Amino acid sequence: MIIRQKVPRLGLILPAYNEQEVLKITLTKLRIIRSELVKSGAITADSFIMIVDDGSKDRTWALVNEYEATNPDIIGVKLSRNFGHQPALLAGMSEASKLADIVITLDADLQDNPEIIGQMVAKYHEGYEIVYAVRSSRQTDTWFKRNTALAFYKIAAWLGVDLIPNHADFRLMSKTSVAALMKLPERNLFLRAMVPLLGYPSTEVTYERGKRQAGQSKYPLKKMLTFAIDGITSFSVKPIRFLFDLGILVVGIAGIEIVYTIFEKMFGNPQSGWSSLMISIWLLGGINLIAIGVVGIYIGKIFTEVKQRPRFQIENVTGLKEPENQADI
Ligand code: UDP
Ligand code: MG
């Protein structure tokens, strides 16, 4: 069922941080897919691939420039420093949606299978504004990554964060929905929870997540953990509420202990309670520290939000061609 009248101009957005090893493989593959879609009439001939260089320290930007100089379908956006994956995606979406009718964000290492881009565009033709690519299997991820991810989705759901399980940042968005996303003013970006909040007609397409084609992951364990904690605390205040409830419980237990001690003093023979004393001190000390830590995380978020710093800073955009030069290649 096709309900759109106009053939859309597509912008494929690749955030890239130190991706010199893989960029060539990725661009070769994506350019073939782009051409096929142009030939089939799904997207316009001036559809493009936009690489957002997130402050790379290797030859990524030089490679982007080489490609852009010889290929009319490549646009390079250079951020002024490394802002991180999420801000790089947002920068790409904001730039690309100035030109394109639809944008698709995907990783530069081809882990997000580009073969399903055609299906995603087809869903747009059916009338959807947002298309989420969802991983049907994570067999290529390590056991550790699979299970930590599973735990993350469970905890997030329990805390009331509305996420689409096994969807990361591989998605199609229409110009309209990107404009709505840009209205969300937050600095702590967690796009996979922000986009569902927009509420436009959306659907899912499944794919098998592949292996990174070359180079190293830019998400070591520590960064992954920070990202997970950031994501949850940006979208749920339940952890603070939970601490409050825990506090009440602990005070309740202490109350029972007091009553018990009084009774013991009156009717029994009191014990010298070294171990119970030590356990209580350490336990309560620990709970206190965790509680202060969680409150600290939220105060930290308030701190970054009130500063109102720009979420990304574009230093340079290359490869914007005049319309007459944009031929299908
Ligand atoms: N990336 C980025 N800025 C960063 C870290 C990563 O733009 O600070 C990009 C990276 O180049 C890649 C994507 O984000 O295109 C996902 O990163 P990666 O593949 O390293 O993560 P993983 O797949 O291992 O979770
Ligand atoms: Mg990857």
Could you tell me the distance, in angstroms and rounded to a whole number, from the CA of residue 30 to the centre of ligand 2? 16
Could you tell me the distance, in angstroms and rounded to a whole number, from the CA of residue 110 to the centre of ligand 2? 7
Residue 185 clears pLDDT 60, i.e. is over it? yes
Q: What is the pLDDT of residue 323?
A: 54
List pLDDT tens digits, range 268-302.
Answer: 776 667 667 877 888 888 888 888 888 989 998 89
Q: Which pTM does this prediction carry?
A: 0.87
Residue 191 beta carbon below 6 angstroms from any ligand 1 atom: no
Closest-lying ligand to the alpha carbon of 212?
A: 2
The token pair that represents 260 in the structure block = 């018990």
List pLDDT tens digits, range 95-134.
Answer: 999 999 999 999 999 999 999 999 999 999 999 999 999 9
Residue 109 beta carbon below 6 angstroms from any ligand 1 atom: yes
Tell me the three state secondary structure of residue 212: coil
Residue 150 clears pLDDT 80, i.e. is over it? yes
Closest protein CA for atom 16 of ligand 1: 107
Whole-angstrom distance, CA of residue 295 vs CA of residue 1: 50
**Mean local confidence (pLDDT), 139-157:** 85
pLDDT band for 58, please (50, 70, 90 cuts): very high
Q: What is the pLDDT of residue 312?
A: 95
Could you tell me the distance, in angstroms and rounded to a whole number, from the CA of residue 217 to the centre of ligand 2? 6
Q: What is the pLDDT of residue 275?
A: 67
Closest protein CA for atom 25 of ligand 1: 219
Residue 219 beta carbon below 6 angstroms from any ligand 1 atom: yes
Residue 111 beta carbon below 6 angstroms from any ligand 1 atom: yes
**In contact, 114 and 106? CB cutoff 8 Å:** yes
The type of residue at 155 is: I
Closest-lying ligand to the alpha carbon of 108?
A: 1
Closest-lying ligand to the alpha carbon of 84?
A: 1
Could you tell me the distance, in angstroms and rounded to a whole number, from the CA of residue 239 to the centre of ligand 2? 30
Report DSSP letters for 277-306, one per residue: HHHHHHHHHHHHHHHHHHHHHHHHHHHHHH
What percent of the chain is modeled with pLDDT above 70? 95
Whole-angstrom distance, CA of residue 258 vs CA of residue 263: 9
- What ranges in 183-270 are assigned the alpha helix state H? 191-198, 221-235, 238-267
Q: What is the pLDDT of residue 137?
A: 76
Residue 107 beta carbon below 6 angstroms from any ligand 1 atom: yes
Q: What is the pLDDT of residue 253?
A: 86
Residue 324 clears pLDDT 70, i.e. is over it? no
CA torsion, ordered 165, 168, 173, 179, to nearest 10 deg: 100
Q: 157: Cβ–Cβ under 8 A, 6 or more apart, which residues?
A: 163
CA angle (34 as vertex; 33, 38 as ends), nearest 5: 115
